[in-house]
Structure formats: structure tokens, C-alpha cells
Chain A
Amino acid sequence: MSPATPDNGVGTVPGGASSPPGTAALELTGIVKSFGSQRALDGVNFELRGGEVHTLLGENGAGKTTLMNIASGMLRADAGSIAVDGKKVSIPTPAVAMSYGIGMVHQHYRLVERLTVAENLAIGWHETPRVVSRGALVDWAAEVCDRYGLQVEPRAAVDTLSAGERQRVAIVRALSRGARILILDEPTALLTPHEADALFENVRRMAGEGHGVVFISHKLREVMEISDRISVLRGGQLVATLARADAEVRELARMTVATDVPDVPVERASKSGRPILVATGASVGDHDEGRLHEIDLEIREHEVLGVAGVSGNGQVQLAELLTGTCEHDSGTVTQFEGGEAVNPTKGVGHIPEHHSQGLALAASLEFNAVLRSITKPPLRRGLVISRRRLRTAARELVDRAGLKKLQVQRPAGTLSGGQMQRLLVHRELDAGSRLLVAVHPTRGLDVAATNHVQMELLAARDRGVAVVLISEDLDEVLEMSDRIVVLYEGRIAGELARPEFDRNRLGLLMGGAA
């Protein structure tokens, strides 16, 4: 049996009784959650009625997933209360959430890839018999899929399924365990448009049957299509809850993006130079994984090109494409130096999305500091590395990154996130003498360090370096860039030069609604 069976007992009835439409099936009140010193949720209220599709809309990091992880027992709130059908409950684990009829379908579905659909449906559930024949399991799974009208071949191994099919398995799994409240975390993120349409149909049907559906998304268009009500989260706070009839795309975009701070802080005399990298129709990855499609982009000296967009829309691939660390399947990417096409790996710096991508965490600070320059003169002479120069160069960089007090022999993994980021930024500033691709360069830094990094990037631009700033922080992009392109679903959704910067327009482009 599950560790805590609710007193009302309805939770374990498959396809069980749903709350009458219109009453609060799930109510979260004053939810607070912090990670370290970061407050991810700050007193958020949320209510889901039976039979409604209630969207949680917001940027990455707004707290949408965190809030629903609390409702589904993945995380525990620091403060606040949860009520199911008007009864106050405590949800310490996903199993308990399930017993209250709350099921969450995570973005990556959490299925066992090597097992079949039937096995995934049955595994880890207390009602699955301890001993069961393969045939009986398959029959049962087929019946369950049938009951919810979500067809998947029960004998197929999950790793052979498409993203849409996997999602159906995850949804059936939740429903078959008695979920009356279904939480879908970014359900369209990995789906093709066709699969997304099928999903919407299913979501509507489930709502019609009385299930409450929480739909987490940052895509404005689909939010307008599927929702009964919309709650907007920003920076861990609830901005508004609206009925769809009262919602308007432009207004939603404004609410998700930011407050009305002055758009363009200072006008800068920017002299755009010669192009140093030109991408023409460059595509990366196949369409199902939906990565980059036919990117046309010109990157110029003396210019900060801001790339705005919600992460997961191709930013990582774009950074790799521009730094020459991934192959493009079609189109061309050419780098120029003084007007001539050149070998692309020279003078390119890359501040990656995560520290771990650019640092060897088990290796010493010293090794990490010279990672870029170790195979080149003057550190290398022939086959030999000069230890003395290496040590000097490492010490100098570490000092410049503001880590003077640290021993260079320390493993890089023992540094704080901010320290790692400072080391990375300075190393890549050195490496990027022609092109610097910076992905979230100020993430995890305090205000002073953020300012410092931004000044360094601008200084690099002024030296003539082409800087590509990929960031989710629209304020940062607006403040730093000379030109902005918006990435949406692997395509360049729009391009704006500095005089035409417009927060609302960017918000719409980022949400795919323009």
C-alpha cells in the first residue's frame, strides 16, 4: 500500500470520481520556496477547478515548475498550504500526491527507456501484482490505453517511441493511477506541431470528463488556444490570474516579460564593422528534435548581437554553431578575417550555458585557467609545456577574475557558482579575440560582478570583437545589444536594430505570437 492513503479514498479509483466542475479541486495558498538565498516562489496562490484547463504562464525561472513540483510532492514548500477538494493536506512525496489524485507529467516524462510501454505503466505502482504474466500485463495496458483513448502499442519499448507517444504513456500512467488533477509541464516542448494538436485534443477531452489540468507553458499562442484560465508568474510571484476571455496576447506578453522600466538606457555610438561570421540557411539537428532551422545571420565586428528567447528554443545549438563546435547539416557558416574566409576555430571564445560544460570540475583551477591556451604558444613549445609560464598565466588569469585568494591547485569543482563563472568569463574573454559567444554570462553573479562582466563585454566590443550575447534576461539583452534577434523554436523569429528596440514586440516574438 502507499505510505499514506487519504481518508476520502477516492484517489486510487482508476479514472475515479472527479470534482464537480467549478469547485476548487486543488488550492495552493501562500506558497514560499527558496533555494539557498534565491527565492523561487514568494507567496503564490493558485487554484484549479475540476474540469478546467488552467495555464501557468511565465518565463523560465519564473517558478512555474517549482510551484507544481510542490503540488506533486517532488519538493516541499517552505511555507504555505495545500488543499485538495477543500481539505488541507500535506504532500511529502509523489506517491502521496498520487493518492490524492494529483499526477504530474514531467517535461522529459520520466519513463524507463529500456522497458516496454506496459511495463512502464505498471512499474512502481502499489496496485501492480507482484507476479504477473507478460500477456496479462499487455492486455491490461491495452485496456488502460483504450479507456483513456490514448493509443500506444503496449509491447513497444519506450526508447523506440516518439516524443508524442512517450508523453501519451506518461499521461496514461498518471490517469490509470487515478489522477483527477493532471499537471503537464511544458508538454509541447518536445512535440512536433502535429503531435501538439493531438495533445490539445486530448487535454480538452480530459477536461470535458471533469479532470482538472494544469498546463505549464511559456508559449503565448498555445496558451490562448488551450486555457480556460491563465495565471501569470514572474520572478516567483503571481502577477495575475485571468479568464481567457479577459486575456489579450499583448498584455500577457507584457506581464510575463517585466515591469515597465525604461527601455533603452543610453544611446551608444556604435560603429558596426565588417562581418566576421556569416551563416546562410544553416540547420542543425533533425526536425523532430526541432533544433535550428535555416539560420541566416551576420555577425559583425564592433557589435553586440543580442539573442533573445526563452531557453530551449535552440540557444545551445546556436552557440555551438557559431563557435564551430557542432556540425551543421545544411547551409553554410563562414568566418572572415579582414574580409577573407578563414579557419573558424581561431580567436573564438565561448561562455557556455553551464559551468560544467566549460570547466573540468575534478581538475585544478590552474588547469582550467589555461584550458584554452595550453596547446598554443607561448605555453607550448614544440611538445613541451612550460610549467613556469603555465603557472604565471594561470595565476594572472585567476587574479584578474577576482579570485586572488584562491589556491590554483584547488579542484575547480570546489568553487562557488559565481567564482566558476568569473573564471570562465575571463578565460573566454582572453580566448575570444575575434568572436565571443556568451550564453547567460551573468547568470549566478551578484550585482557588482554582473556589472563588471557587462562592462568587460562592452569593452571587448569596443576593441572590435564581435560579441554574441545569448540571454533569457531581456533587460540585459536590451541594455547591451546593438542588434537583437529572437530565437523561437529553432528559427530566427525576428530581428531588431537598436533604434527599433521594443520590449512588447520582443515579448511577442519570444512567445511565438508575432
Chain B
Amino acid sequence: MTAGPSPIRRVIAVLAAALVAVVFISMQSSPLGGSVWEQIWLSTFGTGLGTTSVLQLAMPILFAGLAAAVCQRTGMWNIGIPGQMIMGAWTATWVAYHLSGVPQAPLVLAMMAAGVIGGGLWMLLPALARVYLGVSEIIGTLLLNFVAIQWLIYWTGGPWANTNQNGGGTLIAKPLPAQATLPQFTIGSTTIGLALLIGVALAVVLAAVYRYTQFGYRSALAESGDELVRYAGISVWRTRLVTLVLSGGIAGLGGVLLVLDQLHVLSTSLTADNSGYVGIVAAALAGNALLGVVPSALLFGFLAAIGSALQIMDVSGEIVTLLTGLVLIIACINVGKPRFLARRSSARGTSPPSAPAPEPAPTLDEVAK
């Protein structure tokens, strides 16, 4: 049920945005000397290290993208992904501090479960407000991001502060148990984290759920709008509630995995890469197709890697933000007759006669004049 522009249009959008980027990047020259393009190549798919970093950057975007897409598939928005990632990571960290003696596998599983619960619970408030009070989930989720960030600052700068390492703008919590880490697989010189594979597996599972279960169809019904829901007489409030909490849980899981896979500690750099927001763009580019989020997240991981490459060359990495915006705008604008043109021909009250006279009546025009 992917609405919106066709896949071809999406690819064209990416290419068009890329073209703009090429022009902009070509205009830049590094004060450090050397070719910008070469550095971009080396930092991305040109080397094993580059590929590894692309995959690493794509991982949180994949989870955020899935969280966003799940919501969109029920016609709702989750703008609170960064906050849910924080709360997932925070809950998992709390669990890890309390289970420091537990071996790797159970500890990691417990942390992941805690992350899902943390992110899901964080979503519960806006979800209940949406379902029971009709409060826009966009507002609710967005505002809780700021609360979550303050929460993170409080814990990493206060009760859990790592006094040895703090400074330089980033607050870091006490270290996690050493076994709180996820396996990495190395192929050639490229390393793939288990976290990314979990993300891909999750995308597959979710795609199946939406395709093969009643839940998926109820979601599609909810996505089609309140009028149809009302018509069909099928209740979707439960579907909406579950979807929102599920979306929060997925985001929370993304937050834990970012800690386990890359950061290895709770810190305020958790949301530094903006993956929680980029994920929304990635989902939009994928047209909210759950499997489509995988390549889409990889693309945005690639873009993020380009951003770091440019920064290494001391060139502004803002081009990546620009590029992200461009992809979103070009991919999501549906070409159609603009509304103001369509209006005249479909002006209100001009519906064609539903019951044309079955036979020409004897006209009484004589009477008229």
C-alpha cells in the first residue's frame, strides 16, 4: 500500500538531488589541499573502513525509518523518534548497571528488551492522548523530545556522570559492563554490526506483519482516513494505540543498539547525528514501504558518511543537510494538477444531473417570454 510517487520518481529524485550536490561539492575546495572527491570515495565505498562507516551510520537511520514508516502506515506521524531513542538507551543503561554481573547474551537481550519498553512507554503518553483525547500525535511526540534530551543531560551530567571523562560539551555516563556489546562480522576489510542485521530482520518481519495479518489491514484502513473507518464500522483505536507504542519501541530499540554497537556508553552524543529525524525522511523516500526503508537508510548513511568526509577536508558538511532536504522535497512532491487549477472545473454545486429527463419534455419556452 505505498501511496505517493512511483519508485521511478523516487530514484529520479535522488539523482536530481545528487546532481545538485555534485555541483555544490565541486565548487568547494579544501583548505587542506587534495581532492574532495577522492576523500569522499575513501570515506565511503572506496575502502573497507569507509563501507563500515556507511553501514554504521545507516543503522540508527534504519530503526528510526522503520519507526516512522510504521506510524505512517496507520496514517500518523512519529516526530518523537530522537526522544524515544534516548529513553530506550536510558532504560537499557539502567538495566545494564543493575545486571553488571550477567553474561553477554542475556545482558544484551535484557538491554534490548528494556530499550523497546523504554521507547514504547515514552510513546504511551502521546499515544493515549491521541487515541482518547484526539490530541495530535505530531505535537505530543515532538515536544517530548525536548523533555527526553533534558532527562539525558540530567542523568549523564548528574547521577550517572562519568567524572573522569566529562568535558568538551559531551556528557558521558559511567561505563557499561564490558560485556555489554554486540558482535561484529568482518567480511574482507568491511565490518558489519549485528545491530544492522537485526534492523534488516526487523524490516522483513514488519513487512510480513503488515502484509499477512489482520493488524496490517486494519492499519491500512486507518491510513485511508476517518471517513472510511467510520463507513466500514471497524474500530481502529486499538490499532492506532498499538502502532504508536510499537513505533516508540522500535525507536527505543534503535537507541539501545546505537549504544551497544557504536557508542558503548550512554552519552549526549546519542542524538548528535540527527538519525531520529533523518529516519523520517528515509521512510518518506521509501514511500513507507517497510523493506524499502533498508536501501533508503543505506542511502542516508552514505550521505552522512559524505558529510564526515567533507568535515575531514575542513569543508562545510552542511551540504548533506541540504541534500537530505532536497531528496525529501523532490521525492515527496506528487505531480498533479495544482488545486487552484482543478477548482474551477469542479466548483461546488455543479455536479452533473443525476437524473436527466428521460425524454425531451415539451418545452414551455413560450410561457417564459
Q: Which residues of A contact B (CB under 8 A)?
A: 35-36, 38-40, 45, 47, 59-63, 65-66, 69, 74-75, 106-108, 185, 231, 234-242, 258-259, 261, 323-326, 345, 350, 352, 356-364, 367, 371-372, 374-375, 380, 383-385, 387, 411, 440, 443, 472-476
Taking a contact as CB atoms closer than 8 A, the residue among B216, B349, B361 that contacts A259 in the complex is B361
**Are A65 and B350 also in contact (CB < 8 A) when A357-B227, A360-B224, A374-B214 are?**
yes
Complex contact A75–B355 (CB within 8 A): no
Taking a contact as CB atoms closer than 8 A, the residue among A38, A108, A385 that contacts B212 in the complex is A385
**Are A237 and B361 also in contact (CB < 8 A) when A69-B347, A350-B231, A362-B224 are?**
yes
Complex contact B353–A241 (CB within 8 A): no
Contacts of B368 in A (CB 8 A): 45, 231, 238, 240-241
Complex contact B364–A384 (CB within 8 A): no
Residue B215 interfacial (CB < 8 Å): yes
Shortest CB distance A47–B (Å): 8
- The residue on B at minimum CB distance from A442 is B354
Taking a contact as CB atoms closer than 8 A, the residue among B1, B221, B228, B344 that contacts A357 in the complex is B228
Residue B164 interfacial (CB < 8 Å): no
Taking a contact as CB atoms closer than 8 A, the residue among A234, A237, A371 that contacts B232 in the complex is A371
Q: Quick one: which of B218-236 are within 8 Å of A by CB?
A: 218, 220-221, 223-225, 227-228, 230-234
Complex contact A323–B233 (CB within 8 A): yes
Give Cα distance in the complex from A177 to B131, angstroms: 46
Contacts of B1 in A (CB 8 A): 362-364, 367
Q: Which residues of B contact A (CB under 8 A)?
A: 1, 3, 211-218, 220-221, 223-225, 227-228, 230-234, 344-345, 347-359, 361, 363-365, 367-369
- What are 9 A-B pairs with beta-carbon distances under 8 A? A45-B368, A107-B349, A261-B359, A360-B220, A362-B3, A362-B224, A363-B3, A385-B212, A385-B213
**Are A358 and B231 also in contact (CB < 8 A) when A234-B361, A385-B212 are?**
yes
Shortest CB distance B252–A (Å): 24
**Are A237 and B357 also in contact (CB < 8 A) when A65-B350, A185-B349, A350-B231 are?**
yes
Contacts of A106 in B (CB 8 A): 348-349
Complex contact A238–B347 (CB within 8 A): no
Complex contact A237–B363 (CB within 8 A): yes
- The residue on B at minimum CB distance from A58 is B353
Give Cα distance in the complex from A358 to B228, angstroms: 6
The 6 closest A-B pairs by CB, nearest first: A38-B352, A360-B224, A235-B357, A61-B353, A65-B349, A241-B368
Give Cα distance in the complex from A474 to B364, angstroms: 22
Complex contact A360–B354 (CB within 8 A): no
Taking a contact as CB atoms closer than 8 A, the residue among B213, B215, B358 that contacts A258 in the complex is B358
Shortest CB distance A237–B (Å): 7
Complex contact B220–A367 (CB within 8 A): yes
Give Cα distance in the complex from A472 to B353, angstroms: 10
Shortest CB distance A439–B (Å): 11
Taking a contact as CB atoms closer than 8 A, the residue among B233, B234, B347 that contacts A74 in the complex is B347
Complex contact B233–A38 (CB within 8 A): no
Complex contact A261–B354 (CB within 8 A): no
- The residue on A at minimum CB distance from B346 is A35
